[in-house]
Structure 1
């Protein structure tokens, strides 16, 4: 794989090219988010962008400094140009390495270039998916053909196709989260409802987790994507309406924190987001929640946070 990127450079040698991106064929790439991410970097300078594995064991086995090729990594044109002229000597120095992405990291390091980590790139060396996601745009999902389907009553292929429906409308808001009872930072700390592929001793993961709780105010109510449509019937505005339905009856104990009603009766969540304009990268949006006690539907309207508004 590493040779292919350099061969492509040598054949084309096209200065209209700004980035070379490598990823495995079992990886979903969200191109709109990828393009926006690359636009934040200067391709005329040396950049090596990627991510570690989510599994500590995987990183310890190979390297904590490497951008995993499965999830995908990107090299700026300037860096590839420099690597192409030095590649033969580099391969001789690192002929003991068996992984092309490890060679990429090692050769880049010889030029003084370290990995720039982007959290939206996911290797997924875990069995299961994150229930929360960082504020970075979702760039890639590797090993999607090996993890459990993310939607009930759908196989892996059907789940991928279903996920791509909202991606066609707006990739900037994929995998964003909503939380009422947790401060924003705690919402990013994922309950460990998954496990690493390899058997090993803790700690397992390269991200923060929080203990599972029996507190009904902290226990999750799980809803799955049902449909997404664009509508112009909401006042004068065009919006994207995303519908989520509960996968199983809500039978958790009633949460009495701060007088909040139980979420058990809720069967459907409708999320309204702007149909034009992407969410600002690196920012979480605020929302207005409309719920009438006794009804089975909650309406959530996303909007940019006002000045000084806290996510807590």
Structure 2
């Protein structure tokens, strides 16, 4: 009897499904699926370029006078598209608004949001709402939205090259986390940190435009805007795609050790410029940023890329961070050692109760004993120029005297008399070439 009941049930299910597919056209399946190229032609999109990107930057009238130079260092009038969203309308001292800055918009009234009363950090609510506001501007032919802060500097050409690798028709959320373990623990290891900048594909932005305000109500306990956005993106089933070239810089002090050992990945952004020392010792912060981006104009793909080479007869090691610094070591040191950033900086949180590990990457400590065999002679870039039409000449000057004797273990060949270094690099035909092959000339 049981077997008969099962048979009847199975026959009934088959008849029901057959009826459903035959009588409801939306469920009908062709006997022979059409070839994709016949019924659904695949249109190959043109390569992503700067015209496909809209930049959304969050600013404040109170700090605009100070932050303006950072934004104008990367903004390209009549080339880049985007807006800076202010907390209030700029006063007469800033008008007429210059074309050297992104067009300004005044942020919408966030007090009208249903979730507003429950948020303790109202400023962060304005920042996350900016994601919707930049989308509502309705720019055409957009593939990517890049969100930044007003103290973030971008290398536009590298950003375009990076985004061109990805399929802009998919839901994509691209960024990086903090350099500091504690910051990631406090907020999130998985979100894209907003200061470093992050990219959202158009389809994802379109989806967020329908859900973000409701999602904001869901997360009043999250303290930062990028944490809220990361949660809302995750709720759409999208994970962050990690790109090392974004730099949150949750650090203090001298970050030359980090920039001098940059991984061989395109440098995309630099955040928190005001919380660190000027990256070039002889310049202020704005001059330093302009110096770095000037080098990027000669070859954006190579900027900050680390190359390590050796002078074996005198047992010296050279570590070149292209367009930024050169370190000379009076010893032969392996690349596995030198690619670890020299810990010249301190973590964002360094008070009591903050135990190591402090950073999300390996570091090497400065030699507090003044070991001449591992302490570098440091040189920083002064200028760049084209020579012979196919080479780039970068000149570096000594930061200061190292004040140590020569390394006896490798033959007492002192680099102390060297005052300048010239690095000659070929103008690359491909990105792969750009991280290789330097000729180094030293001057005493």
Range class of TM-score, shorter chain? 0.7 to 0.9
Separation in 1 of the partners of 2:228 and 2:375? 44
Deviations 1:33-73 (A, max 9, x none): 11111111111111111111111222222111111111101
**Alignment equivalent of 1:193, drawn from 344, 367, 379:** 344
**Alignment equivalent of 1:133, drawn from 262, 265, 285:** 262
Structure 1: 5+ residue runs without aligned partners? 297-312
Instruction: Give 1:12-91 correspondences, 5 Å limit.
Output: 12=138, 14=140, 16-91=141-216
Separation in 2 of the partners of 1:257 and 1:230? 39
- Between 1 and 2, higher relative CO (CA 8 Å, sep ≥ 6) is seen in 1
2:359 corresponds to which residue? 205
Deviation at 1:185, TM superposition (A): 3.2
Separation in 2 of the partners of 1:66 and 1:119? 14
Separation in 2 of the partners of 1:75 and 1:182? 41
Deviation at 1:80, TM superposition (A): 1.2
Q: Which has the higher helix share?
A: 2
Question: With structure 2 as the length reference, what TM-score do the two structures score?
Answer: 0.60
Deviation at 1:3, TM superposition (A): 2.1
Separation in 2 of the partners of 1:85 and 1:27? 28
| Equivalent residues of 1:170, 1:278 under 8 A apart | no
Separation in 1 of the partners of 2:160 and 2:412? 42
Q: Does 1:268 align with 2:420?
A: yes
Separation in 1 of the partners of 2:217 and 2:394? 53
Separation in 2 of the partners of 1:289 and 1:151? 21
Question: With structure 1 as the length reference, what TM-score do the two structures score?
Answer: 0.83
Deviations 1:160-198 (A, max 9, x none): 222222122122221122333333332221121211132
Deviation at 1:89, TM superposition (A): 2.9
2:36 corresponds to which residue? none
1:246 corresponds to which residue? 398
Deviation at 1:257, TM superposition (A): 5.5
SS in 2 for 1:245: strand
Q: Does 1:178 align with 2:278?
A: no
Question: Considering only CA atoms, is the larger Rg found in Structure 1 or Structure 2?
Answer: 2
| Equivalent residues of 2:423, 2:439 under 8 A apart | no
Structure 2: 5+ residue runs without aligned partners? 1-126, 309-316, 318-331
SS in 2 for 1:171: coil
**Alignment equivalent of 1:285, drawn from 436, 440, 443:** 436
| Equivalent residues of 1:250, 1:265 under 8 A apart | no
Report how many residues are paired: 287
RMSD of equivalent CA atoms: 2.3
Change (3 A) 1:95 1:46: same
**Alignment equivalent of 1:147, drawn from 276, 297, 300:** 276
Separation in 2 of the partners of 1:112 and 1:259? 60
